[in-house]
């Protein structure tokens, strides 16, 4: 399998993401958000955390007009794995690939912590390798409060699109939502950072199975 990390101006978790993908066998490359190349050769596309385009106007609002986003839309429509972590999640909601919006935390301020996540969907493309009910994952955001209208929230629940919930609602998200997929289940956005929890040396490896799940999903699709 081959994966790719999209670098936006202002991305700052791109190296961490690349490191985790490489370490766990997802064979990553980097691509610039300014590129209008196709993403056909990749099985999985990762939009990393950071402050793309300074998060001017709204988080992710400018990044979604990056040239690369046309190819990301195409890949998502083809059923390829598309993952947005933190700012990547904000870009996916702004671009309409995921419903809802990430808003300022309920109590304004940057949260930098580790938090327990409940794995709400165990068979998703992103969680199938987990046996644990809950995992500990770093969070680092000021605009992480998931918001969607009541109808959308109901649809997310009914269609099993809520993959991760906060065990404790640290930012005021609706329904304790930490991560969701699209209806097809191939596009995921989440605020917490599994790529920062892959090294024994750093004391937390709960993120490893996130990447192993994706690896298993791509292998099952029979793509290489």
Partner 1 sequence: MYLAKIKVTYKPSVLDPQGEVIKSALHRLDYETVEQVVQGKYFEVKLTASDLEDAKQLIESMAEALLINQNTETYDYTVEEVEG
Kindly state the tokens that stand for 212: 């192993």
Q: Which is nearer to partner 1, 150 or 201 (CB)?
A: 150
The CB-of-133 to partner 1 minimum distance in angstroms stands at 30
The CB-of-80 to partner 1 minimum distance in angstroms stands at 25
Q: Which is nearer to partner 1, 105 or 217 (CB)?
A: 105
Q: Which is nearer to partner 1, 55 or 94 (CB)?
A: 94
The CB-of-101 to partner 1 minimum distance in angstroms stands at 4
Q: Which is nearer to partner 1, 100 or 194 (CB)?
A: 100
The CB-of-146 to partner 1 minimum distance in angstroms stands at 11
Question: Nearest CA to 16 among 197, 144, 187?
Answer: 197
Chain contacts with partner 1 (rule: CB under 8 A): 57-58, 61, 94, 100-101, 103-108, 145, 147-149, 172
* Distance of alpha carbon 155 from the chain centroid: 20
Query: Is the CB of residue 81 less than 8 Å from the CB of residue 124?
Result: no
CA atoms of 156 and 168, how far apart (whole Å)? 19
Output the CA–CA distances (angstroms, integers) from residue 122 to 7, 13, 93, 128, 218, in the order listed: 30, 26, 23, 6, 17
**Which one from 15, 41, 86, 168 is the annotated catalytic residue?**
86
Give the number of other Cβ atoms within 10 Å of residue 93's Cβ.
23
Residue 141 catalytic? no
Q: Looking at the annotation, which residues are catalytic?
A: 86, 193, 195
């Amino acid at each position: 399998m081959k994966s790719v990390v999209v670098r936006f101006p202002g991305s700052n978790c791109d190296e961490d993401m690349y490191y985790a993908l490489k370490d766990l066998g997802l064979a990553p490359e980097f691509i610039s958000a300014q590129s209008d190349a196709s993403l056909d050769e990749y099985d999985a596309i990762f939009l990393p955390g950071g402050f793309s385009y300074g998060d001017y106007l709204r988080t992710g609002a400018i990044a979604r007009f990056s040239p690369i986003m046309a190819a990301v839309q195409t890949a998502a429509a083809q059923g390829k794995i598309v993952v947005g972590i933190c700012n990547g999640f904000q870009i996916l909601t702004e671009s309409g690939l995921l419903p809802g919006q990430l808003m300022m935390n309920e109590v304004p301020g940057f949260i930098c912590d580790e938090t327990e996540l409940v794995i709400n969907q165990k068979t998703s493309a992103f969680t199938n390798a987990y046996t644990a009910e809950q995992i500990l994952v770093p969070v680092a955001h000021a605009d992480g409060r998931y918001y969607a209208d009541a109808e959308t929230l109901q649809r997310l629940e009914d269609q099993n699109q809520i993959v991760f919930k906060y065990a404790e609602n640290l930012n005021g998200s609706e329904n304790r939502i930490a991560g969701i997929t699209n209806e097809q289940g191939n596009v995921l956005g989440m605020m917490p950072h599994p790529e920062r929890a892959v090294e024994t040396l750093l004391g937390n490896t709960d993120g490893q199975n996130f990447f192993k799940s994706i690896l298993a999903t791509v292998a099952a699709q029979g793509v290489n």
